[in-house]
Chains A and B, each alone.
Chain A
Amino acid sequence: MSDDVRPGQAAGSPPARVAVTDDAAALLVKLRDKHGDLMFHQSGGCCDGSSPMCYPDGDFITGDADVHLGDLAVDSFTVPVWMSRSQFEYWKHTHLTIDVVPGRGAGFSVEAPEGVRFLIRSRLFTDDEWELLRD
């Protein structure tokens, strides 16, 4: 994992819920050349679950059942990150960083054929951060 983590677009106050590592950002640049604008939807459950699924933007239709966690700032473009509202209830105290590691990927996520997979690194928000988020 790269130690350099870029904050999401909404950095500042309140704190961003999502961030992306330099390695993952570099991969997003490459994938965007191939697939166009991109999006993430954090999956839950079963074989390939708990992975950030990366799709061509709009391929996965989001709606009232989803929460928009934020936008990753990557070079000149941004990548929205979504999660289902029901899952967010259990994850709302958690800050998420999207990283990339060697692997086979999962589901229909577009990075899998590259021999890598996106991975969520998570930490609980500090009490100070949580106060700001609640306001």
Chain B
Amino acid sequence: MTVYAAPGTEGAIASFRPRYDHWIGGEYVPPANGQYFENPSPVTGRTFTEVARGDADDIDRALDAAHGAAPAWGRTSVTERAIILNKIADRMEEHLEELAVAETWENGKPVRETLNADMPLAIDHFRYFAGAIRAQEGSISEIDGDTIAYHFHEPLGVVGQIIPWNFPILMAVWKLAPALAAGNAVVLKPAEQTPTSILFLMELIADLLPPGVVNVVNGFGAEAGKPLASSSRIRKIAFTGETTTGRLIMQYASQNIIPVTLELGGKSPNIFFSDVAAARDDFYDKALEGFTMFALNQGEVCTCPSRALIQSDIYRDFLADAVARTEAVKQGNPLDTDTMIGAQASNDQLEKILSYFDIGKAEGAKVLTGGHRAELEGDLAGGYYVTPTIFEGKNEMRIFQEEIFGPVVAVTEFADFDDAIKIANDTLYGLGAGVWSRSGSDAYRAGRAIEAGRVWTNNYHAYPAAAAFGGYKGSGVGRENHKMMLDHYQQTKNLLVSYSPNKLGFF
């Protein structure tokens, strides 16, 4: 067990500046309007730094820097870009612990997750796209013996990216790695709840990227996000967040006729078929862990398995074991490597989750465990902690239909295969799903029948590069985490060439 010292205290391996400006053209640039906003740590609820409050002027300056850098960056060879991405990965690996502690301090998630998931995944993501861009080939079509269509990949130019607060560094890297590999320059706006850790990363890798290739402007959505998303000077916008903002961003994009990738909400079903309980063995133990995955990252994941569907004949026994497993989740100081669940990312989020406890109870759902704020002591007393919560109810209830984005799972039972699929698909969303069965054919058929972009089969919450991730239905457009994401950041240039000396004969 290790307990990392809090940033700003003696012995801390990561420290923050007292104030952060925008990152434009490879250096810190004060906000044009001179304004800053406070950034509290969810671990304690206390402000640890202040951050530039950007507006349209700052977005314009960042776009100037990006447009200045984009032509030369787009002409670099894929070899050069791959080397840089690999160097970024190496640099992050050398500083993995500092990055993990910084991320935990800003977001509230347990450091064992940032050490073992967020940062290793982010590092690997750069390496994956370094490899993918090297291996990418254009294509040719032989139209006839003398006529050839050549297809080249070209960068889009300058792109905009708006990042959520639940995985501040990892979600930024999911978008940065393919964009940079493809040769684009980026203006990135982090979430106002987590504006700092990405700047911590930018400082670490500043010497590796040409100035202006990545620019970071912080601020509020209405003041900084909107001028970026609606700018006529970006060739693409990528967004992860909620549905109404996603629609608004698409509307802005339609005015500029630019492509959009959106990763929006989810209400993911996690289905446990009868044969899961055929033996009390390693697989059963794994399935119980799979159920408890709703508490990963405090439930602040778009793919949180927030609806557990359990087959009727094992319902009572499996649920009893699942409650026991959930009650064994250790909550505490996020900087302690033994802690399994940390703080919700903001006070707003805490209040929203607590309001859903009231909504669930008012609708008649039964609380099997949790259902309240977790009161921690000492420095943690002001932090935003919630006890992992299991509700039992019906799929029509709001707690089954709305994304709570907290450590809350709503459980119901199903009779048979068809019933399971019907309940699973009765949702506006289609991002993730889980299927647990010892029968390969049942698991396969269920996975194909569920309307979701990612169906974890006998596992959950793994996010390896090379497995495409994205939504069906109201959950978005595009596929991240896979080389197909390169297509979302590239133009196709077709040269249609005639090698024939002969005229067509039309004129």
Q: Using a CB–CB distance below 8 Å, which chain A residues touch chain B?
A: 41-51, 53, 55, 59-61, 84, 86-87, 90-91, 94, 101, 103-110, 112-113, 117, 119, 122-124
Contact = CB atoms under 8 A, between A and B. Distances in A.
Given A46-B265, A112-B222, A107 B403 contact: no
Given A45-B243, A46-B302, A104-B347, 20 more contacts: A44-B265, A45-B266, A45-B402, A46-B266, A47-B166, A47-B242, A49-B243, A49-B244, A50-B404, A51-B352, A60-B244, A84-B244, A87-B428, A105-B222, A106-B245, A108-B229, A112-B222, A113-B223, A119-B351, A124-B362
14 contacts: A43-B243, A45-B264, A45-B302, A46-B240, A47-B166, A48-B245, A49-B405, A53-B248, A103-B348, A105-B222, A107-B248, A113-B222, A119-B351, A124-B363
B220 interface: yes
A81 to B, nearest CB: 12
A59 B255 CA distance: 12
B245 A86 contact: no
A105 B222 CA distance: 10
Contact of B267 (A45, A107, A108): A45
State the 7 A-B residue pairs at the shortest beta-carbon distance, nearest first: A45-B265, A43-B244, A46-B265, A49-B242, A107-B245, A46-B242, A108-B221
Interface string B207-234: 0000000000000111101100100000
Contacts of B242: 43-49, 51, 106-107
A90 B401 contact: yes
Interface size class of B (residues with CB under 8 A): 35 or more
Nearest to A113: B220
Contacts of A46: 164, 240-243, 264-266, 302, 403, 405
Interface of B: 53, 164-166, 191-193, 220-223, 225-226, 229, 240-245, 247-248, 251, 264-267, 300, 302, 346-348, 351-352, 355, 359, 362-363, 396, 398, 401-405, 428-429, 474-475
Contact of A106 (B221, B264, B267): B221
B241 A110 contact: no
A44 B248 CA distance: 13
A45 B242 CA distance: 5
